[in-house]
Structure formats: C-alpha cells, structure tokens
Amino acid sequence: MAVDALHRLEALVGAEVYTTDPTVCQQHAFSGRVPRAVVFPRNAAEIAEILRFCSQHRLAVVPLGAGSKGPLANPPERYDLALVSSRLRGVIFYDPGDLTLSVEAGLSLHELERLVATEGQFFPLAAPFGSAATVGGAVASGLDSPWRQFYGTARDLLLGAEFVTGDGLVAHSGGRVVKNVAGYDLHKLLIGSWGTLGVLTRLNFRTYPHPGPPHLWLARYERWEDAAHLLRRLRGSVLRPLAADLLSGWWAERLLRQCPAGQPSFKDPSGLQVVVDFRGSAAVRTRIERELRTLAEQTHATAAVLLAEEAAQTVASAWRELLSQLLVERADGTLFRLGALPTTQPELAEAIQALAASSGVGAHFLVRAAGPMWLALLPEEQGWPAARWARLLQELRQLLQNASAHGTLLYAPASAGTREATPGDANAATKAMQALKDTFDPQHILAPGRLPTSVGAR
C-alpha cells in the first residue's frame, strides 16, 4: 500500500520535485537507512501538499538540509521520504540598517555569513558543520557555538519563522522586528527539535555589528577545580568575553594543533586548557589582558599566553568546528551534551573520567562558560567496547542523576548497538512534549524517533 501511495505522490508533485533514483536515495541515507524517495520542493506550499499527503498515508518524512548532521541525534525509526531544502535558498530581505534579515531555510550558513560580512556585520549563530550546513539545519539541530557566551543561541537570535506542520499547515510565528510579543513563540519550539515538529521554510534573524578580529588567550591548568573556577569567574565577569571554553583531552589537542610553532607549552595536550575570545578597541583589550593575567594567577594557571592575531584567526575557525571535527576524526566515539550547574561541574567531570577509565574509554570535555559540557567518550584501543556500552551508559545515567545533571546523547557509532529510550520517564514535561508533538504532527510522520535520547536527570 505504501509503495502505491509514494507513486501517487510523484503524480501529485511531478517528476521535477520527486525522485526514486537509487543513487539519490542513497545520498540521503541515515546510518544505513535509505529513503524510498526524495523530494526537492520549491516552496512552502509544495511542502504543505507533500506533508498533507504523507500524513494521510502515514509515510515517514525526514526534513533535511545538506545532511551534514545526519550522523547526529537518533536515526529515524521509519524513513519513507527525504524532504530536502536545497531549492529553498533565497534571501527574502536583508535590512542592514535594522540589523535584521529573513532567509529561506536551505541557504547555507556560510553564504549567510558572507552576506552579512559585506555590510560589516556578524551572524553569531556560528553553529558547527558551517561549511556544509544550512541555516534551517543549524536551527533545527540547536547546536551551539563558542560565541554563545556573548550572543546567546538560536533562541536569542531567531525573531520569527515560517514552517510547515506534519499535517501540512503553513504557519508563521514571531515576526521580523527585534522586539515582538504578538502570539505564541512557536518558532522557539522548532529550535533543537530535529525536524520532529515541522519543516522550517523561512527564518528571520537579528544580526550584529562585526566585533572585529578574534583575540584569543589561552591558560593551562592541572586541576579541574582551578580551571572551572576561572570559567565561572569569566561567566559572571564585567569583562564580557565573546567566548570562554574549557577543553580537555582530544578537544584541547585538536585545537592546540592549530597553534603556530614557538608556543611549545601549548602544543602539549595534557592538562586542561581554557580558551577565551575577547575583542574591542586597543584600550579595552589592554585592560582585559591585564585582568586575565590577574585571574590566571588567582586561579593557579600553570601557563598563559595571548595568541598572535593571525594564529587567533586560525584557532577560532578550528574552535567553531571542534564538534564536526570530532565526527570526522573519531567516528568511533560517542558524544553527549550535559547540563550541570557550573559549581558542580568539576566533581561531575572527575567522576565521569574515573568511570570512563574503568571501561577502557577516555572522557574528553569541552565545557562552555555559558553553556553545556560537551562530553566525548573515545575508546582508547581499537574498536568501541560494545559489550560494555550498555553498562557504561547505565552508570553514566546514574552519575548524572546523582548530580542533578541532565544530558542528551547526540552521537554513538552504529557498533555501539541500540540506543534504548530513557526508561521510566513519563513525567509531566515528557507528557507536555508529547502533547506538542501530537499538535504539530498528529500522524507522527515527521522524523520519527529522531529526537536525541535523554540520558540524565529531568
């Protein structure tokens, strides 16, 4: 029956939009799951027509941009149709004087960044996978950037959106101006929803004046307590850095690889590195440098260095892409996003490191001062210890619950086996989220099961 239905979809939207070409289908596979057809709709009305049809026939649809984050989150449980935004690449308007713009969801993030740069402006979403990612995918995945310390996340930048619900309603919320409280902010629900609530078609953002080239300062620490202390001081500081992250293990090593020769102490990946990006006029930077030196002393840094401007540019680019680089270099690892109160982070990190070591994996942290703790668990020998995976995950859950920390499993290799759903958690928040899913996608056809698994406390 489903095969017949798909054929009828072709008749409905035309061969220009619809294909079952095996090569094209293969290009849109998720972790080995291949769709039976791919559509390249040209506008929201066409998407609405497709989704109404798929809702009626209960065909599972996965909205896709460039597919750059395909390996992240959970693979879809069912997958009939890939809905690709590559034909939605327009700039609806850009009003530099108002610092606002509206673009179609399939526009590439880099293209948008280049556009605002022509007006001396900055688009601080700066999500990873930037060289391939679409704006819609960056928003739907809800991934953050180092610069959230100053600019916030998609939630703070997205002013309004147009999207299509699972049952084919073209809807708008928010607006194009920087201040607006009319109606429910439904677009905020789509941030980080991984395509499970609607298909984003247009996005309205605010932009910012360009802050000038990055100025990076690095400090080395031996103890979690000290490094985390610096991070907390920066988070609540009048210095207002643009970014401040704490890196350990692989993350630190990968970033420091970008540092030029002549800074040998920062090529050694052992220990903990704090990286700070601060900008401003020469007078402001001199002041911040002075304050950072004092802070480093007070928090027992073992070394600190200010990068030269050219090096800073290279390191900043690599910094932004650490998450995507992890998947390129260490697809055998797993990636979690943990949320814990800053004061509880050192103890939690050390407990996780001890747990990981006992399971033959290394725990590598990327902690944002104003954000989550990104945790990569990387096997130390060849191959993921699949047999120990279930137990490790269970013990990690326990640690997180004891620390009242929440967590999301964003990536695991196929060899790790199935990702069990979070057990026993039909609490009120889960029920409310299910009610929203039922509201936006009554037939549950949109990216079924793709929302990442929750692994911590609620």
Q: Cα–Cα distance between 48 and 260 in angstroms, integer?
A: 51
* Candidate ranges 56-64, 70-78, 349-357, 448-456; the one touching another protein (CB under 8 A): 448-456
Asked if 351 touches another protein (CB under 8 A), the answer is no
Cβ 32 to another protein shortest distance, Å: 25
Closer residue to another protein (CB): 237 or 325: 237
Cβ 157 to another protein shortest distance, Å: 10
Q: Cα–Cα distance between 76 and 449 in angstroms, integer?
A: 5
Polymer length of the chain: 458
List the interface residues with another protein, window 296-315 (CB under 8 A). none
Asked if 43 touches another protein (CB under 8 A), the answer is no
List the interface residues with another protein, window 271-290 (CB under 8 A). 280-281, 283-284, 287-288
Q: Cα–Cα distance between 149 and 277 in angstroms, integer?
A: 10
Q: What is the DSSP letter of 36?
A: S
Amino acid at 129: F
List the interface residues with another protein, window 174-193 (CB under 8 A). 175-186, 188-189, 191-193
Asked if 156 touches another protein (CB under 8 A), the answer is yes
* Candidate ranges 33-41, 69-77, 311-319, 400-408; the one touching another protein (CB under 8 A): 400-408
Cβ 42 to another protein shortest distance, Å: 16
Structure-block tokens of residue 165: 């619900």
Cα–Cα distances in angstroms (integers) from residue 320 to residues 126, 143, 207, 249, 337, in the given order:
7, 11, 18, 17, 16
Q: Cα–Cα distance between 297 and 119 in angstroms, integer?
A: 40
For residue 311, what are the β-bridge partners?
none
Q: Cα–Cα distance between 85 and 423 in angstroms, integer?
A: 35
Q: Cα–Cα distance between 75 and 80 in angstroms, integer?
A: 13
Total of residues contacting another protein (CB under 8 A): 89
Closer residue to another protein (CB): 25 or 275: 275
Cβ 382 to another protein shortest distance, Å: 32
Residues 6+ apart with CB under 8 A from 60: 54, 76, 77, 78, 79, 80, 81, 445, 447, 448
Compose the 92-111 pattern: x for residues touching another protein by CB under 8 A, - for all others: xx-xxxxxx-x---------
Closer residue to another protein (CB): 46 or 80: 46
Q: Cα–Cα distance between 63 and 30 in angstroms, integer?
A: 12
Cβ 289 to another protein shortest distance, Å: 12
Q: Residue 380 burial by CB count (10 A; 0-12/13-18/19+): exposed, middle or buried?
A: exposed
Asked if 429 touches another protein (CB under 8 A), the answer is yes
List the interface residues with another protein, window 354-383 (CB under 8 A). 368, 370-372
Asked if 89 touches another protein (CB under 8 A), the answer is no
Q: Cα–Cα distance between 197 and 442 in angstroms, integer?
A: 10
Closer residue to another protein (CB): 120 or 423: 120
* Candidate ranges 77-85, 155-163, 306-314, 376-384; the one touching another protein (CB under 8 A): 155-163
Closer residue to another protein (CB): 152 or 417: 152
Cα–Cα distances in angstroms (integers) from residue 293 to residues 214, 219, 307, 446, in the given order:
18, 9, 14, 51
Cβ 209 to another protein shortest distance, Å: 3
List the interface residues with another protein, window 190-209 (CB under 8 A). 191-193, 197, 202, 204, 208-209
